[in-house]
Structure formats: C-alpha cells, structure tokens
Amino acid sequence: MNQVELKSILRAIFCFVIVIASSNVKSNDIITTITPIRISEKIDPDGNLTEDIWNTKPLIKSFWQYFPLDSITAKGSTEIMMAYDDQFLYVAGVCHSVGNDFVTSSLKRDYSYFGSDNITIMLDTYNDNTNAFVFGLNPFGVRREALVTGGGRGRGSFTMSWDNKWWGDSQQQEKSWTFEMAIPFSSLRYAEESTEWRLNVYRNDTQANEQSTWSRIPQNRIISDLTYMGKINWPDLPQKTSSNISVIPYISTSSARDFENPDETKANSNFAIGGDAKIGITSGLNLDLTFNPDFSQVEVDRQVTNLGRFEIFFPERRQFFLENADLFGGFGTSRSNPFFSRRIGVARDTATDLTIQKKINYGARLSGKIGENLRVGLLTMTTDKQTASGLPAFNYSVAAIQQKIGVRSNIGAIFVNKQAIKGESESDIYDTYNRVVGLDYNLLSEDNVWRGKAYFHYAITPEEVDDKYSTFMQLERTTRYSRFELVGMIVGQGFDAEVGFVPRKDFAMVSPEFELFFYPNGGIINRHNFNVDVGLIYQIGKNENAFVDPWELSEWQVESRWSFRFQDNSNLTLFSNTEKITLFNDFDPTRAQEDDVFLPAGEEYQYTNYGFSFRSDSRRKMSYNITPTLGNFFNGKRTSFRLNLSYRMTTLGTISMDVNYNRINLADPFEPVTLWLVGPRFDLTFSKSLFFTNFFQYNNQAQNFNINSRLQWRFAPVSDLFLVYTDNYFTDEAFSQFNSRNRAIVLKVSYWFNV
C-alpha cells in the first residue's frame, strides 16, 4: 500500500465521522425525572433514617436488573430518598436483601464495586453526558468517591484516586441495610442557572448475585456509562452564597539514604512545609494552587515485566492533577497523547525501574465550566533546577478548551508549552522549549450507538525536521449484538511531545475490529462475546534505520478473543495472538542478556501464542485470576503464567499475591531466561479511619526488590497522617542475596481547612 492509498483510507474514515456527526440520532428510552425535597432542618448522616423527611414516599423505588439479566426489574428492593438545603444534598435509602451476610473487602475507603455490597450515586451536574461525580456507601459505612470522564464508556474513565469532603454512614438491619449521605454543594461543580442534573443509582447485592440500576443499562455497556441516566429537577438549585475557599497545608519530615552514591555515608534528613488551596471562583470554575507539593504518600506503581519495544504507560495518582484531568489529558489517544501529567515532577529511575520524585516548586490550575457547554482549563507548574547536573528549572504550561456540540459530542483545542528557565551555569543539552498545539473532535451519538474521534496535533520545536504532526481518525458502532470499529492514525518522526506520551513515532496504522455479543437462555453461561482485532503498521520512512520502503507494511497483528461470563460472576477468556514484526533497532526482548547479544535490526519475525484467562467469583473470601500463555516468541519459545490470589479477612482487610512468570528460550547465542515478578501485599484496616498497607515487589528483570509500607490515619475529613517507609535492594540473580540501594522514611500530616 502506498502513501496515496493509505491517506485515502484515512480521509474516508474522517468523512464518515463527519456524516455520522451531522445526523440526528435520538434515543427512544423514557427518561424518568425526580424532584428532591427542600428542607430547613439539618440531617445527621448516621444511616439510621430517624428524620421525619425520610418517612415520605421514596423518590426512586423501581430498579432494573443489570446482572444476571438486563430486561427485567430487580428482584431485590431498593428505595432511594433525596432532600437538600442551602449547603447539602442529602441522599438516603433502604437496600433489602435475602439475608444478613453482607460482604466488604475491608473497611478502607474506595472499595471495589464488584467485591462488595454497595450503593452508588452518579451525578452528571452539567447535563453533558461526559463527566460525573460518584459517591458510594456499603453496609459497613465505608465510603468511596470517584470521577467519571469520557462518558463513562471505558474502565479507564473511572478515577478512584479523586478525594473530596462529604459525609455518610450506614446501618445493618434484618435482611436489609440503610444509608445516608450528606454531599456539600461546595464539593460539586455545576452551573448555578441549571434546573436539571442527570442521575443514576446502581447497587450490588452479593447475596442475591444481582446488580441493578435505576436507569436501565444494557449488559454490553459498563455500569458507569453516562448515556443511561434519569434526571433531577431543581426548582431552586442552591446558589453560591459565600466564598468557597479551602486550604490544605502539610508538614513532613523525612530521612533518606542512597547507598549507591559513594558520597552519601549517612542518611540525610529533611523537613518540609507546603500545601494546596482550592478557591471556588464560581460553582463551576475552580482555582487550585500548590506550593512545594509533596507526593510521598502516593502509593508506588505496580511493576511490570516489559517484553515489548516501547515505553509502558503508568497512570496518574497524584491528587492535584486529578480533578478535570480529562480536560487536559483527554486529547489524543493512548498511542499519542500531547499532555501526560506524569511528565511533571516524576521520572523513572533507570537503575531500579521505579518512579522517583522531582521537586515541584509551585503551580496553579484554573479549570471547570463556564455555563453548561464550555469547559476551560489553564495549568502551570514550575520544577526546581538540578544544580549537581547543571540542568535548568522548567515551566510547564497547558491551556485547554472544550465546547459541547449537540447532545454528547464536543470539539476541543490544546496548547502545551515546556519552557526552560536557564541561568548562566545551566547545561544546554536540553532544548529551550517544546510546544504542541492540537485540535480534537469527539463524537458520541445520543443513543450511544456511534462513537468517533478525529484530531490533528503539531509539535513546535527548535529542530528543523519533517513530519512534526500526529493525526487520528476513529469510528465505532455498537449495538446490543455487535460492535465494529475502524481506526486510522499517523505519527510523524518529528512529532516530539516532551510533555506527552508518544512511545512510538514514524508510523501509520489502520486497525479494524469487530465483536459479536451472545445472550444464551439459561445454562451456566450468562453471556459471551467473540472479538477479532487487526492492526496494520506502515513505516513512513523518515527514520534513518528504516528497513522497508516508505509507506510499506512493516508489521501486523491479529488478536482474537472469546470471552464467557458465567452465572456465578466468574469469567473465562480464550485468546490467540499472531504478530509479524520487522525490527528497526537491535533489540533484546528479555533485557537480561550480555550487551553484544540481541536480535539484529532489519530481521523479520512472525510468531503466535495461545492462552486463557480465568477470574473466579470475587464475592468469595478466596478469589483468583489465572492467565497461562504458550507459544512462539521472535525466533524462540515463550511460556508465561500470571496469577493474582486474594483472600478477604472480612473487615480486617485483604491479603493478596501477584505472580508473573516468564520462561523465554530464544535461538543461540541467547541464554534461556526466567523472569519473575512477585508482589505479596497486605491491606489491613483497623477501623474506617486507620489503614496499613505493606507491599513487596520482587522484579529480577529490573534486578530490584522493593518494600513500600504505608500507615494512614484519617483523623478528620480529607485530613491525614501518613507514615511511609520505602526500601529498595539490588538483586543480581533470581532470589539471591539482596544489597541495599536506597531507603527512606517519611512522616507527613495534612489538614483540610474551610475558610
């Protein structure tokens, strides 16, 4: 396929997206509306439902099953009441079940939905079908909150790391449990002139093995999909009556030593003061400020065994970057993202393969909505210079805007700037600046059948190089019984987005995918689906190491999956994967051979592997996920085995073990390699405010053993004391004697003040 033919295909995809966007597709579902009751007395959200207001008729009583069926009303009765005053939205309810054997994974906040009895409230406060606030409770009074972005269509659109101030509790009764929530309007973002919000409520009843929702959701959509929601009617939505300012200062002290640095003969102590501030400019627009931020309490990343050729993505976990994160980070795709917030203040240690912190001096973010249709975001952060290496300080700035089009679609623009702040002593090895501008169009039809995306991004850099652009076009059609997706993408060799995530350049891709859904009547199988995904990669040819002609096929992949969900909530997936690859650089996939042992550039390899994945019923005290894989690998063989084993100790917590085993035998001169990644983890919850996590990770590919221990005491709402211990050891052979690399202990206290 030549350049003209490939670009013609991409133009055809783009035109099809525009045609679908211009069509007026509507949903035929009936939308239910409720009206909360305004009250004058305060409610103590203790879960007892003793207030008179809760004696009124429930606003919501009819739920639909989501699992095991999605076409009948729920068997377990759920009653929801709603009231409000000038400060709080109050939500209360009664959840009936078949017994008293309620399940929770622990008493720790932000529990998993699937392994616990719980009720969840989703609030789309802007009627944009795109973003929502999530609040949940389980029968033990454990809370969780989250943000939903991107319409809630994918599991990556659910952000559990978000945290905010609200109150709630629950009480267990005979074959039922009751709950109350008090959600401050100041913790939400909404247009003050709004008269309607969108709402859905969903519940997991582990004893009845039933998941149910207020607004009916098809089984082949995830339960957080914002297409399927009812409405809240607001006769007089509370307005912003006073300043909404919160200050969250912290103090911390630490002691750390780098044993691999011969100049460090003892531990270095440090004392730090800093904090954040949240200022509500309007009910929909928020200003966040940070000074000398400290992220030492953020949990370490789960390590991975990397057998691929490109950088691996790790999600953002730092609280400051999470609210409205989709406005900044939602541009582009996972293969080419112009802004990735983890590039700010975080780097990966090449010795341990772990993330390390780089000091951020200060930053600010203005983000939110102006009206119901326009989202805006401005972000600026400044990092400290590194005197020892002669590297300058950098300023990172991002401006983003997103305008709603129609019911669910939007168009957005982004500008990213990385600017060096250099003094006379700083090195010139880094560019003075790196900038990216981009325009994205996101299509979501009202009935959720059509989804699409098209974008064009351009890098502005000091180098005079060709192809400084990245472009993408996608169209997907999903019905109850089928899904079809077509993707086209080009990333130029000159598209250098230093603040983004672009693991690969100088390629074009065409990827069709189709999936069929089946719903048997009766039997042990609840539903199953068959999926085939094809990827065709073309080399543009601007890379100096190209071994194929420009715009010729350089690699392809065909992956097929057949997935089964059983009536007991367990899952089985059978899969096969065939790849053909032309290497453009010398490559050691094991990352464990001598320097002169590698697969040479220019060689072609084709290989196939097969496997299955089985996940047991997560409602059980003991649950597991197992994935064995067998097959060829480049010019040899690979056997892999992944296991996640979890044991739930009622309310005390969870003990789990992750094991990833790879045995790789490549042709001479490669030595056979056995790679282990073992991660035992202990999550203990002594109460709903005191938690202890001990996480071990042994990775012989990275030659590292890591210990991360974290004690957290939530002594007040969104106010914590953290004691964190981190230790890294060097291991040169599998399970050999460990030698110290670095060690640190941190004590940090933060407190949330409302001004």
Domain range summary for the chain, segments of one domain joined by +: 1-28+310-499, 31-233
Q: How far apart are CA 207 and CA 99, in angstroms?
A: 7
Beta-bridge partner residues of 487: 474, 511
Please name the amino acid found at residue 492. Answer: G
pLDDT greater than 90 at residue 135: yes
CATH of domain 31-233: 2.60.40.1190
Q: How far apart are CA 167 and CA 529, in angstroms?
A: 41
pLDDT band at 156 (very low <50, low <70, confident <90, very high): confident
Q: How far apart are CA 296 and CA 302, in angstroms?
A: 16
pLDDT greater than 80 at residue 537: yes
- Using omega within 30 degrees of 0 as the cis cutoff, is the peptide bond preceding 717 cis? no
Backbone angles phi, psi at 566, to 5 degrees: -95, 165
In this predicted model, which residue has the larger pLDDT, 6 or 577?
A: 577
**pLDDT tens figures, 252-266:** 999 999 888 888 888
- The secondary element (H helix, E strand) that includes residue 529 is strand 525-539
> Do the beta carbons of residue 474 and residue 13 sit within 8 Å?
yes
Beta-bridge partner residues of 658: 644, 679
Q: Give the pLDDT of residue 407.
A: 82
CA neighbours within 13 Å on the CB side: how many for 752? 17
Lowest mean pLDDT among 10-24, 358-372, 491-505, 627-641: 10-24
**pLDDT tens figures, 104-130:** 988 998 888 888 999 999 999 988 888
Q: Give the pLDDT of residue 389.
A: 58
User: For a pLDDT cut of 90, what percent of the chain falls above it?
Assistant: 61
Please tell me whether residue 408 adopts helix, strand or coil conformation.
Answer: coil
DSSP state of 260: T
**pLDDT tens figures, 42-98:** 899 999 999 999 988 888 988 999 999 999 999 999 999 999 999 999 999 999 999
Q: Give the pLDDT of residue 160.
A: 83
pLDDT band at 489 (very low <50, low <70, confident <90, very high): very high
**pLDDT tens figures, 443-476:** 988 888 999 999 999 999 998 888 999 999 999 9
pLDDT band at 538 (very low <50, low <70, confident <90, very high): very high
Please tell me whether residue 354 adopts helix, strand or coil conformation.
Answer: coil
**pLDDT tens figures, 175-225:** 999 999 999 998 898 887 888 999 999 999 999 999 999 999 999 899 999
Burial 676-690 (b: 16+ CB within 10 A, else e): ebbbebebbbeebeb
Distance of CA 600 to the CA centre of its chain: 36
In this predicted model, which residue has the larger pLDDT, 585 or 16?
A: 585
Determine the average pLDDT of the residues in 722-743: 83
| DSSP characters over 118-186 | EEEEEEETTS-SS-EEEEEE-TT--EEEEEE-GGG-SGGGEETT-----EEEEEEETTEEEEEEEEEGG
pLDDT greater than 50 at residue 22: no
Task: Tell me the average pLDDT of the chain.
Answer: 88
- The secondary element (H helix, E strand) that includes residue 327 is helix 325-329
Q: Quick count: other Cβ atoms within 10 Å of Cβ 403?
A: 13
Closest-CA residue to 121 (of 85, 80, 160, 62): 80
What six digits make up the tokens of 577? 């994967």
DSSP state of 336: B
Q: Quick count: other Cβ atoms within 10 Å of Cβ 497?
A: 28
pLDDT band at 158 (very low <50, low <70, confident <90, very high): confident
- The secondary element (H helix, E strand) that includes residue 3 is helix 3-22
Q: How far apart are CA 351 and CA 371, in angstroms?
A: 49
> Do the beta carbons of residue 109 and residue 95 sit within 8 Å?
no
**pLDDT tens figures, 370-423:** 887 899 999 999 988 776 656 678 899 999 999 999 888 999 999 999 998 865
Closest-CA residue to 290 (of 310, 306, 274): 274
pLDDT band at 174 (very low <50, low <70, confident <90, very high): very high
Q: How far apart are CA 497 and CA 340, in angstroms?
A: 10
Q: Give the pLDDT of residue 180.
A: 97
Q: How far apart are CA 575 and CA 320, in angstroms?
A: 39
Determine the average pLDDT of the residues in 330-334: 92
> Do the beta carbons of residue 147 and residue 161 sit within 8 Å?
no
Q: Quick count: other Cβ atoms within 10 Å of Cβ 190?
A: 23
What six digits make up the tokens of 296? 């030492």
Q: How far apart are CA 462 and CA 652, in angstroms?
A: 57
